[in-house]
Structure 1
């Protein structure tokens, strides 16, 4: 272990820099040397106790700055360094890096709940050099009230990693990151602050620098990555893109990451590529934390050719020899795209970066935009449902407002940062403080997001240098403003004129189409009624005893195979069901492992697709020799259901249907609908049928939304 200078008499002496250089060699190898801006940042933090923002490309060595500074400050008798990190993958890599330099590091996150008490005790005892926390922990009542005050008073250094998340102009803004400003404002005298990111344009840099201090030192370098070779490959549809990747994956160097825009697409890609003999695995936000860690280790150890991932595998994953990044579907922002492709080629001379865009990308962008911050009257309803004396949990609050769980939590976090609510043990309290809905801000943010989406489309179509395009989107200071067009990177497909071959063998296309075209997925029945229905006047609670059997659907609207066809069918004017869809439905029914075969079929009363749903039910009744019960009619006096969360949706659907006469044929009934989203429509329709005497209900839909 390299000895660290403990004297503070002359902290700018060559000995301090030599100690820093020695720690860097422990971190990065015997030949490592500090970059000049690395030393400037370390000196600002350790000697001058300043606040600094470091904006440097992925792989530059930002984490080395804060680990070295943490060790040097610790040697001077300063307290532990607190690092706010956004992702579990980032934390695991950082803890491993810290250990190589002799730094005692601990992490508090959702994956190590059983260790929290022990870690809190270690922090209190002063035996931890570095504590890594997720931004969500900053407002955990116990952590905020018991641990955070000590850290704010005694910390040696506070680090905000992936600092673009602090800014609502950043591509990955998170409400929890806004609490960091409160933490910074409450720091003791002389505690330095370091913010780091690889992806921030001028506007984000100004915003973050202002939030962390009035005299922030900004150290910003070029974002050019000489190892990255950027290409865009256009193929006609999802089948062709998947087949192309199946043929090309083994030609890509080393191991890498294939990004997809949705969980369903990642799972479909992993399935098809695996059927082609490639060693791949899906990695998404639905992947269990322990499995995520195992998959990261498999990629680090080159045990898989690729992880097929959503953005869940992103910031901070560090594999220096990652040989490629492929996107099947374009992210909505060039800045987030640059952040993801930056995973590749950190320690290699060449890495391939390939974008396979599709026409469905813009629809996916629109969907994610639609679940942004809600309108003012909905936010006001959240405030109105809270009171200052009795805390309400998120679960208890959900039935009182028209928001689903994830959006409600996001609103509460924003209101908490704004001071209108406060999180305490047992839930949330209203503070009574005045609160204003910032319409202007949300309008500007929406316009900025639309501009980013257009820029991503421009990236795909540009004939100029692709690396320069991305660098200009990030306001790279290494590009002279006086030269609108530099000579280019000399590496991308536009600069070299070399295009990847888009030919796909017919047999590969056929095999991929057959794999993707296999219809059928299960619809898990709802098991519990939402809490709080009594407050809405609905006499339902607890376990659902009159529920449906496990249902079936042909596919998801986000599927790579059936998804696009089902979406086109549901977007088109209402018409009789096509033969190809009937054939797919028969295939799904044939493989259905039901306990008792249905004896009757009943169509749901569909406001948008009555002909499609009715003709599908009639065709299935004819082919399956089932009794056609017609349509389960919805009461005409009821308005359309628009509620977003479960409790309000159930309340709006309760007693919505005219009970049918099932005396002649009580079932089991095959209940047919065009599509399902939350599952509550089918659940409440089933409840009506069971109350009317149906022996069993088997839901069947053409599509699920997700």
Structure 2
């Protein structure tokens, strides 16, 4: 038997060299995992640092299993596009890999035909495919029955204790439970603390999670990254941080990634760096897929100094010579931070890792924390609505019946689907009628864990101990020790000095006012019966394209706007510098006809701010202030989706006779002012009222929009 194992290891080494080059040799834990999968047909969880070679385990295991007549390997990965270079490497090694995802639907039939013909060694699928009814019911059972190996990449996404929990991954529980006993399973991740490791191992099933008694084999290694030089640089404000980045970027080695917390910040930072002559590109989940692919290629080919990216580039991107990672703002947990910085320094001796924290970080964390699993009454209302419908409801049809935005509603439905309370079918979602219990205790524990993680990130910023050791302790790495390389270990620190000229240029960029605001053009689904509107908003009550001073997620005006409009902030007159910026927005507004009057939207929360802004604009523009739309009825809670929001504001404003007469007399476009636009429905309803009162056109102006 030992000779057989020796021969198998020799064959595994040969496969690895074909994949990674003549210099490659299997690590002991790589061989242990491969043997467990190929010989013992076990389930294994590999928790190893980025660059350790987790993909080599499943590619080598695939080759060995295929040589023994096994079916293809099915890999579930959240970022298929970013595995392109791995697929190309596998092809060079004679491992034929194909993908099935939302971007190549036209190729599915051909791919499945290749799978059936036995010419595909590796099939990669996105977790979203697992919850597609056609794929789940028709394709997935055949893949599972014929698979030679199932791989769950970025397996921390399975656990709602993890830093990047994804509801689509919950479907894997069902997939793994339905697999034949002799199909081996490999789960891999670079970022899982002890709690997440235990949770994922338990979900792999098959008994204990300690590798004994037929349970899942857990191979967890040290997370040291010998090339990384970690540092924190504290600067007073966003313009100082942006100026520092622009002045230091040329000194950073090679090419790298600049992470931001929001899409708006990614575009702001990228724009400023381009102005300073750097080849950079912005990258986020909102970037066109073709542009994302080109940006990845340009970074891989060193055509860019940096990608300025959100966490959309957080997993799977493989560029061994990435020389630096800079964070403009701190991620909400040490685990998420360590996962992102793991992109750097895999194939170079030294990589700089620099964190530039900002005062707005906590606000952004709080915003994303608000996207957690909904409260029980909201969940029950959703289940009741599905049960009462007696037929499948699409997400769009269900949304008007539940006080949730589209993304949170879909996330909740996916969780309920895996829990068995609902089922996704052709045409939407149906209630199963099965008993379902709201696990309040677990959701509260997860929320509390998120709060602890945020505090741990703040503690990382202020620690005077080794930074890498701190992060590895947060990942429960038993071998964590001082690295001897970070700024605290060496007492060598990046200078925090910024030249006044650089700071002024950055400030000018960040204070550049003006954001386009597109008007709502379609009424939301589900309000026709009670409000009498549906489909396209008629042109005779439609607003013109509007303008805002800035986004709440900007790192420039966003910080000021969040402070001004915070729920706890007092209602004040508009600050002079902010008003001057609004005037700049107006001066660059390329309207077809100048407004002839100013109207404000009556505000219960900030009447002083909105009225002062309206009067001052009227005065400086030498326009008549015509009045304010009057709030009517009791104040209603802020709603989370379009249908609910429209219902709440439909009867909340009125045009009194004096204002109606002034609008008729004005006989020209009106400038309509509010403090902020969230969903856009207050502005839409106010515009409708003014246009029905005789305004030929309405030009919305607001201080802030969300994103």
TM over 0.5: yes
- Which deviates the most, 370-379 or 91-100? 91-100
Q: 1:529 aligns with which of 523, 533, 542?
A: 523
Q: 1:591 aligns with which of 588, 591, 594?
A: 588
Aligned equivalents of 2:571 and 2:11: distance in 1? Answer: 73
Superposed, 1:118-267 pairs within 5 Å as 118-213=110-205, 214=207, 215-267=215-267
Q: 2:544 aligns with which of 549, 552, 575?
A: 549
Q: Look up the SS of the partner of 1:386 in the other structure.
A: helix
In the alignment, structure 1 segments of 5+ residues that lack a partner are 1-8, 480-485
Question: Is 1:334–2:329 an aligned residue pair?
Answer: no
Write the deviation string for residues 326-377 of structure 1: whole angstroms up to 9, x where unpaired: 0010000000000000000000000000000011111111111012111111
Q: Look up the SS of the partner of 1:196 in the other structure.
A: strand
Aligned equivalents of 1:49 and 1:289: distance in 2? Answer: 37
Aligned equivalents of 1:548 and 1:120: distance in 2? Answer: 49
Instruction: Determine the structure 2 residue equivalent to 1:698.
Output: 699
Instruction: Give me the TM-score of the superposition, normalised by structure 1.
Output: 0.96
Instruction: Give me the TM-score of the superposition, normalised by structure 2.
Output: 0.96
Change (3 A) 1:324 1:165: same
Instruction: Determine the structure 2 residue equivalent to 1:600.
Output: 597
Q: In the TM superposition, what is the alpha-carbon distance from 1:400 to its structure 2 partner?
A: 1.4
Write the deviation string for residues 429-483 of structure 1: whole angstroms up to 9, x where unpaired: 110001111100011001100110010000000000000001100011323xxxx
Q: Look up the SS of the partner of 2:631 in the other structure.
A: coil
Q: In the TM superposition, what is the alpha-carbon distance from 1:129 to its structure 2 partner?
A: 0.8
Write the deviation string for residues 368-418 of structure 1: whole angstroms up to 9, x where unpaired: 101211111111111111138511111111111111111110010010010
Write the deviation string for residues 227-274 of structure 1: whole angstroms up to 9, x where unpaired: 000000000000000000000001000000000000111110001111
Aligned equivalents of 1:375 and 1:411: distance in 2? Answer: 10
- Which deviates the most, 639-648 or 374-383? 639-648
Question: Is 1:498–2:498 an aligned residue pair?
Answer: no
**Residue 228 of structure 1 contacts residue 491 of structure 1 at CA under 8 Å; is this kept in 2?**
yes
Instruction: Determine the structure 1 residue equivalent to 2:623.
Output: 626
Superposed, 1:184-583 pairs within 5 Å as 184-213=176-205, 214=207, 215-387=215-387, 389-479=390-480, 486=481, 488-535=482-529, 537-545=530-538, 546-571=541-566, 572-583=569-580
Q: Look up the SS of the partner of 2:429 in the other structure.
A: strand
Aligned equivalents of 1:468 and 1:299: distance in 2? Answer: 30
Aligned equivalents of 2:181 and 2:439: distance in 1? Answer: 33
Q: 1:57 aligns with which of 49, 55, 67?
A: 49
**Residue 279 of structure 1 contacts residue 305 of structure 1 at CA under 8 Å; is this kept in 2?**
yes
**Residue 641 of structure 1 contacts residue 653 of structure 1 at CA under 8 Å; is this kept in 2?**
no
Aligned equivalents of 2:89 and 2:399: distance in 1? Answer: 42
Aligned equivalents of 1:105 and 1:682: distance in 2? Answer: 51
**Residue 645 of structure 2 contacts residue 679 of structure 2 at CA under 8 Å; is this kept in 1?**
no
Write the deviation string for residues 574-594 of structure 1: whole angstroms up to 9, x where unpaired: 122222222111111111011
Question: Is 1:117–2:109 an aligned residue pair?
Answer: yes
Q: In the TM superposition, what is the alpha-carbon distance from 1:113 to its structure 2 partner?
A: 2.0
Aligned equivalents of 2:97 and 2:510: distance in 1? Answer: 46
**Residue 51 of structure 1 contacts residue 192 of structure 1 at CA under 8 Å; is this kept in 2?**
yes
Q: In the TM superposition, what is the alpha-carbon distance from 1:177 to its structure 2 partner?
A: 0.8
Q: In the TM superposition, what is the alpha-carbon distance from 1:596 to its structure 2 partner?
A: 1.1
**Residue 12 of structure 1 contacts residue 43 of structure 1 at CA under 8 Å; is this kept in 2?**
no
Q: 2:93 aligns with which of 101, 111, 114?
A: 101
RMSD value over aligned CA atoms?
Answer: 1.3
Q: In the TM superposition, what is the alpha-carbon distance from 1:11 to its structure 2 partner?
A: 8.9
Aligned equivalents of 1:177 and 1:638: distance in 2? Answer: 43
